Chain A
Amino acid sequence: MNEFSEDLRNAARLGEEQLAPVGVFLSRLASARRAHRRRRLASAAVPAAAAAVSLIAISPALIEQPHTRPPAPGAHASNSPALTTTCDYRPTPPDRSAHEKNPSNGLPPAAPAPAPRTIALDTSRGQITVALNPHAPCAANSFTHLAAGGFYNGNDCHRLTTVKIYVVQCGDPFENQTGGPGYRFDDEDLVSAEYAAGTVALANSGPNTNGSQFFIVYADSPQITPDYTVLGTVTDGLEILKDIAAAGATPEGDGRPNKSLQIQSAR
């Protein structure tokens, strides 16, 4: 097969002369990097582990395309988020339908209802209470919509990580880390995102790809980059997650929790 490799190498170069020389590419890259750093000032102090990048993502993608959409309304909300927020819930393309399970009650309303201040997850090991982040109204709206439609009922948290980042991930209708609710929506309030113990944030597969999956941080995880919309903070029941974490995962470090955790209902 060496000949075929050689053929591929030759074919891969075909037309290459139309590209920028390395020097030009490097200077373009330098200015793109400066722009990128400005956009992500908040992440400067937290270089993420290579592992952390893929770990949270729903899809197996390691690195995603940079932001191409404008930030969501309310993405940089101040202390009093606007009441006029509208949310853009976009149906996922049909070629992903095998990974999507639509909620029984359809898409969430674009104009979020006033969100409750807390949500409760009734799990097989007790209740977990989460105070919602007022600066992420579209995330809260989506979550309460899915919860009301019973989307999370019977969902097993499919993933536990115990290396570098400390999270339990739930909310995948197929429990294999690829699933979603048939729609995506934009990130919110990333500028203040931090992942201390108790943080509940939405998993994603790149910028502005939030769905139904979320993760709960059971121990401070400074290595998580501020790319995940914070849904809220656990105010009660964090010991349940710590208990799950203590039992470990298979494969070790990042896998299915050895001690199962099932969401019976969310409200």
Chain B
Amino acid sequence: VDVEFEEYVSQRLPSLRRLAHLLTGDWAEAEDLVQDVLVRCEGRWRRIGLDDPHGYVRRAVVNAAANWRRRRRLEAPLADHAAVLDHAPDVEARVALLTALRRLPLPQRQVVVLRFYEQMTEAETAAALGIAVGTVKSRLSRALDALRRDGVMSAAEEGATR
């Protein structure tokens, strides 16, 4: 079990941390959060393994990120990416995208991240978040509108989403 678990972690750690990063907007929190989730999952690993371990852990990360956000919202604003990064040409576009993403309300951000970063279908996104497919669609459309307004989606992509 241990070997399997560690193998899973080494393979998936980068993608789990990136997922948490997109959801929280903060690397340090992303790292802590993924560690917490993995610690909690380890004891349950044998059973999780029967089904879809990565799906399970991803859902756990999404939930933990939601709780983290709820907890912090009243305490401190999120750190500003732009402040800590130097401005190589395409870094700027990435910072703009992260910033626009962070501006979305959490439910919209979750849908965007699961649908387009994790590339889940609408049905999978709905199942992972425990919401209806219709809700996924409406959140997604509001989120994409906001991202367009922030100018972080290219013209080509805009056409494709209509």
Contacts and interface: CB of A to CB of B under 8 A. Distances in A.
Q: Label chain A's interface by main secondary structure.
A: helix
Contacts of B67: 61, 64-65, 206
B133 interface: no
Chain A interface extent, by class: 35 or more
B94 A11 contact: yes
A61 B60 CA distance: 7
A108 B75 CA distance: 26
Given A12-B19, A36-B39, A4 B31 contact: no
Contact of A20 (B31, B43, B45, B152): B31
Contacts of B157: 1, 3-4
B40 interface: yes
Given A1-B116, A19-B17, A63 B37 contact: yes
Nearest to B93: A7
B113 interface: yes
Contacts of A15: 21, 27, 81, 84-85
B39 A32 contact: yes
A84 interface: no
A60 B154 CA distance: 35
Contacts of A20: 31
Contacts, number: 139
| Residue among B27, B44, B130 with max Cβ neighbours from chain A (10 Å) | B44
B94 A10 contact: yes
Given A60-B63, A61-B63, A3 B74 contact: no
A36 B19 CA distance: 24
Interface in B54-112: 56, 59-60, 63-64, 66-68, 70-71, 73-74, 81, 84-85, 90-91, 93-95, 97-98, 101, 112
Contact of A40 (B35, B43, B71): B43
A62 interface: yes
Contact of A64 (B10, B64, B90, B101): B64
Contacts of A7: 93-94, 97, 152
Interface string B4-39: 001001100110011101100001000100011111
Interface string A6-21: 0111111111101110
> When A and B form their complex, which 3 residue pairs have the shortest distance between CB atoms, in order from nearest?
A63-B60, A12-B18, A61-B63
25 contacts: A4-B157, A7-B93, A11-B95, A11-B97, A12-B22, A15-B27, A16-B14, A16-B17, A20-B31, A22-B14, A25-B31, A26-B9, A26-B10, A32-B35, A36-B40, A47-B43, A47-B47, A60-B130, A61-B64, A62-B60, A63-B40, A63-B64, A65-B67, A66-B39, A95-B70
